[in-house]
Amino acid sequence: MRSEEVKRGVERAPHRALLKALGVTDEDLDKPFIAVVNSYSEIVPGHIHLKRLADLVKLGVVSAGGVPFEVNTIAICDGIAMGHAGMHYSLPSREVIADSVELVVEAHRFDGVVLITNCDKITPGMLMAAARINIPSIVLTGGPMPSGSYKGQRIGVASMFEAVGRYKRGELTLEELKSMESAACPGAGSCNGLFTANTMACVTEALGMSLPGCATAQACSAKKERIAVETGRLAVRIVEEEIRPRDVMSEDAFRNAIAVDVALGGSTNTVLHLPAIAAEAGVKLSIDVFEEVSRSTPQLCTIVPGGSHTMEDLEEAGGIPAVLSELKSHLNLDAKAVYGTLRDSAARASVLRRDVIRPVSNPVRRHGSIAILKGTLAPEGSVIKLSGLRDENVVMEGPVRVFDGEELCMKAVMSGEIDEGDILVIRYEGPRGGPGMREMLSVTAAVSGMGLGEKVALLTDGRFSGATRGISIGHISPEAAEGGPISLLEDGDIVRISLPERRLDVLLPREELEERRKKWSWSPPGHAMKGYLKRYMNSVSSASSGAILRACVSSF
């Protein structure tokens, strides 16, 4: 055991003395030491209940013969950070989380790790750390929040972002808006739809890194508490059996995870996170694999924001084990999991609600929910979520309106300056240019709330939230701050979007683009000239490679 390095031999007497200050007994020194890495936070609704789950995990560790030590990492709520300067810090926090887990686990020579997480960047950050450290590890995701209810309808945080546009349109009074905001988020857990947090929980289970049923078990349910105890027990067993993250997170596992994502209609942010996790696991995962898997995998579910079902419905339908069972012909169920193989999960499951998980023979659509678009505007690729569209065969061509940043575009939307047929370009919001590749749910939700939905297209080198609907194309690479073609656009330039062809093109002669490139320059935004954002900006890679940090840091 790795912990022998801190607890064995005469020279380790000082170390044992410090451990005994924590309450460790002589008998405990013969047991595996398990880090329980908790991302509990009082500012994140998805994490407010994680203290209780950590206590149950520790109970499981002790009952299986291990010694648990609870340690912590940070968490940012994307919903609270959305639409203002705070969102610059969300994606960059993923790297801090991965680094902090690595530091505390490696420094103390733990034998195994339980990673307790729930929200957008925390789950991928912890999975990156697990792959990097590569000691026996298991993930416990905290579970979804129940839906709110307003006038007999289920609502959630996405409903509130759209309600802002409805209020501006005159469909809601200020009193109604206030009533909705008091009802939308009734308690602990990750937001009720298949946004990035719940998508990543489902992907984690599909990767084989969490227990069957973990992703959809409600945050404050007895089922989630039982899974927490069992997760603690299993953490000790995987140490004894030496099951490591890289044994589980193989190329087949990542393909399985993508297949489950596109079958569910999940968030496009997986196109950022899975390549970053794969890189830590030593697996090459290009964005082209997402297109390949999505082309061959049917979409089986229509979950908020791409439909009317919520995470409660997915749980009632049998959760991810039921999805694995239904999707088995498109998966490698022999892929290893922390508890055995994915086949062990699928074999015990059946679909309990066919309105929620459709059969492969009668899917929502014959292919998956994510499409990768390339072309002269996006040579390295861009991403759109097809499950957020009523018509997936959109072909749209027209002049663009260019905004250098989210705030300018949001101002135009809220001022009523946007018309049907507009193609809005929001640039300098990429990993480097933002910096931090902000999610722009506020813009897309306001557009939907004002009734423009699929009548307007939004293009960005930044990100659109997992709660986004409509013709929203993100991750355009190379980004504007790297001098990508999106940086050369001017108001009135003609852009063509063709989803059937998977193309995104600017209809300008190459010579004209080259002339503009000679005049192009970029200066980092003022808020990025100090602290962590400056370091991040100088080292982050393209969205097409997962926005990971480059090994060699350059400076301006």
* Of 374, 392, 356, nearest in space to 469 by CA: 392
Pairing status of strand 370-373 against strand 381-385? antiparallel
Helix (H) or strand (E) holding 71: strand 67-72
Sequence-ordered list of residues with C-beta below 8 angstroms from that of 389, at least 6 positions apart, any chain: 454, 469, 470, 471, 499
Place of tokens 């994490």: 47
**Phi and psi torsions of 83, nearest 5°:** 85, 10
Cα 470 from chain centroid (whole Å): 19
Over its C-alpha atoms, the chain yields an Rg (Å, rounded) of: 23
154, 176, 207, 269, 550 from 142: Cα distances, Å:
21, 31, 17, 19, 31
Contact between residue 475 and residue 544 where contact means Cβ atoms under 8 Å apart: yes
Q: Cβ distance 114 to 61 under 8 Å?
A: yes
Tracing tokens 């808020």 back to the chain, one arrives at 527
**CB burial of residue 472 (10 Å; 0-12, 13-18, 19+):** buried
Q: d(Cα 507, Cα 251) in Å, to the nearest integer?
A: 38
- Rounded to 5°, the CA angle 247-252-257 comes to 100
Q: Give residue 309's identity as a one-letter amino acid code.
A: H
Q: How far apart are CA 144 and CA 191, in angstroms?
A: 6
Helix segments in 2-89, DSSP class H: 4-7, 13-21, 50-63, 78-81
Active site residues: 465
How far is 258 from 246, CA to CA, in rounded Å?
A: 17
